[in-house]
Amino acid sequence: MKMKQTAGFGNIVLTAFLTALSIIFLLPIFIVVVNSFKGKFYISEKPFVLPTAKTFVNFDNYVNGISKIGFLHAAGWSFYITICSVVVILIFASMTAWYITRVKNKFNTTLYYVFAFSMVVPFQMVMFTMTKVANILHLDNPLGIILIYLGFGSGLSVFLFSGFVRSIPIELEEAAMIDGCSPLSTYGRVILPVLKPISVTVGILNSMWIWNDYLLPSLLIGTEYRTIPIAIQYLKGGYGSIDMGAMMAMLVLAIIPIVVFYLVCQRYIIEGVIAGSVKG
């Protein structure tokens, strides 16, 4: 009886703690949303106060922000780069992970550890040389940055895919081979459908990273093909002046697509990470 009471009390404490932690994480988003409906001169004075009849400006900040920075144009490039990069990462990383996991030799083992090691290399260590090489190879454009995202995103993606592939019974592939499937056909018809949970996990992680990335697009594609994070910086004026109202509104619009995508696919994250941690 005491053990049940202790367990019940522990669950209550844990629930209260996690609830408080959730509020702490959601509070900054709530503040941004609230301030997006306030006049820019009132945001700095009372950022934590709800809009009043005096401070409420309806959707003016959204309209001004969209017109000032060309938000729709920037959103188009963000969607294009994010979607194409994630698709390329999913295809090539999953194929690579399947190959190096099933074909056992020293080269593939070394290749696996190279991918794993790439996860701990800070981007700042390679960004200057990467930028120079990208300029030489004419990769400083939307198509080129997709290839560069493939390089930077392959480390974690191959690592997660490899762990998941080890949990797939090899008998499935042997049966497909007996039925006359080629390696490519086996991958497309047998392996790829089984990889759905981890593919969604890898897709979500890479989407959040690429969608919110500021540094790599600013180094490579600049202002001509600017994405949303770069476009938002144009709300900064001279002498440090910032249109805080429009910036808050644009931040809300930038958050919405990735939050919706995450909420739709979140149930696959834990499933994919747990399965990807299985060692064969």
Provide the residue type at 132 as one letter.
Answer: K
Give the Cα separation of 8 and 6 in Å (integer): 5
Q: Is residue 55 part of a domain?
A: no
pLDDT digits (tens, 9 = 90+) for 192-205: 888 888 898 899 88
Q: Is residue 48 part of a domain?
A: no
Q: Is residue 51 part of a domain?
A: no
First CA to last CA distance, the chain: 42
Q: Is residue 42 part of a domain?
A: no
Asked if residue 249 lies in contact with residue 61, where contact means CB atoms within 8 angstroms, the answer is yes
Domain count for the chain: 2
Task: Identify the domain containing residue 25 by its residue range.
Answer: 2-35
Do 229 and 132 share a structural domain?
yes
Task: List residues bridging with 236 in a β-sheet.
Answer: 242
Of 212, 218, 248, the residue nearest 230 (C-alpha)? 218
pLDDT score of 94: 93
Asked if residue 118 lies in contact with residue 155, where contact means CB atoms within 8 angstroms, the answer is yes
* Averaged confidence pLDDT in the chain: 85
Give the Cα separation of 189 and 240 in Å (integer): 56
Name residues of the chain where pLDDT drops below 50: 276-280
pLDDT score of 279: 44
Do 238 and 108 share a structural domain?
yes
